[in-house]
Structure 1
Amino acid sequence: MLVLVLVILLLALVSAAVATHYRFAAQRGAAELSWQQLDAELQHRHQLIGELIAAARASGADEDALTGIVQARSQAMASSGAGVLPQAEAERSLNRVLAAFGPRNADIEASDRRVEHLVLTYNEQVQSYNERVQTFPSSLVAKVGKFEPAAEYPVRA
């Protein structure tokens, strides 16, 4: 009888661990999907900024200001795939240069709003995942399954 109780208890523990592992995988997948959506919108924004640069050059805008935007945009584009924090810093630099340049067009403004929404969505996914990674007893499964905390995207200041 004792053996049966121990076997049932062991099966329950294994089942709980497997279920937790699958929840980790699902949450990490949701965070990765949110990141991919954010990255795609940032790339679209870079394209819009390229169009803004071309239009500004055609209208005879200050070449020094345009050079700063081109450099910041290139750095932001190069940071894609480098990780959350390097990409966020490059985007922050691009935002500073763009703000100094003057008013943005409606397409860039709309893209900025989508980026802000996607950043919030991504950070919510990451916070939920990280909470599970760091909370006992699921933290035990996280260590065994090598589920590491994910980096949040810094919110624009």
Structure 2
Amino acid sequence: MIVILGLGGVLVVLVLAVVASYNRFVRQHQLIDNAWANVDTELRRRYDLIPNLVETVRGYAHHERAALEALTQARSQAAESNGSPATQAADENVLVSALRGLLAVAEAYPDLEANEGFLDLQRQLVATEDRIQAARRFYNNNVRDYNTRVQSIPANLVARAFRFNEREYFDIDEALATASAPTASFDH
């Protein structure tokens, strides 16, 4: 009788541990989804700023058509991307490169660099880039914690049983990661 009660107690503890682990996976999964939504919100904010920036530059730099078109095309591609974080990151790499190209073109036009509208757009862009990086770090930290649990014993048994798979990081191109963020010059 004592052996049956002991086995029953062990079984109850085991079931409670599985339920607790499952619930933790669900919480982490929701946290990652929420963190991705924050990344997406900040990316959308940047997409909304770009047309205004393009129009401001277009007014001053009529013959810089290639840079303007490259940025417009990259923005459209990135804004339409709704795939995995890896797919989104690839589109973002193209967009950031095109944006850097446009800002480099703007440096050749002193009147544009002194334009208050352009300076305001640059400030907003810098703030948005900072928020994107913070949201990306938060997302990737949550993915790291979740993936660690998916791979760790004994949580990996629960993960396998209930099909909790590893999630993708939102990684940017190494060349862009080491480059400085777009900056605004406020000394005009």
TM-score norm. by structure 2 comes to: 0.80
Structure 2 residue aligned with 1:142: 159
Of 36-45 and 47-56, the range deviating more from structure 2: 47-56
| AA of the residue aligned to 1:84 | P
Post-superposition CA distance 1:83-120 (Å, at most 9, x none) = 10010110111111111122571111110000001100
Does 2:43 correspond to 1:67? no
Q: Gapped runs of 5+ residues in structure 2? A: 105-120, 178-188
The percentage of counterpart residues that share the same residue type is 32
Structure 2 residue aligned with 1:38: 39
Once superposed, what is the RMSD of the aligned Cα atoms?
A: 1.2
State which structure, 1 or 2, has the greater radius of gyration over its C-alpha atoms: 2
Post-superposition CA distance 1:20-54 (Å, at most 9, x none) = 00000001110110000100110010000111112
Q: Gapped runs of 5+ residues in structure 1? A: none
Structure 2 Cα separation of the partners of residues 65 and 31 of structure 1: 35
Structure 1 residue aligned with 2:107: none
**Between Structure 1 and Structure 2, how many residues are aligned?**
156
Structure 2 residue aligned with 1:112: 129
Runs of 4+ residues deviating >6 angstroms: none
| AA of the residue aligned to 1:46 | Y
| AA of the residue aligned to 1:59 | Y
Structure 2 residue aligned with 1:6: 7
Structure 1 position 65, deviation (Å):
1.1
Instruction: Give the alignment of 1:89-104 within 5 angstroms.
Output: 89-102=90-103
Say which SS state the counterpart of residue 70 (structure 2) adopts.
Answer: helix
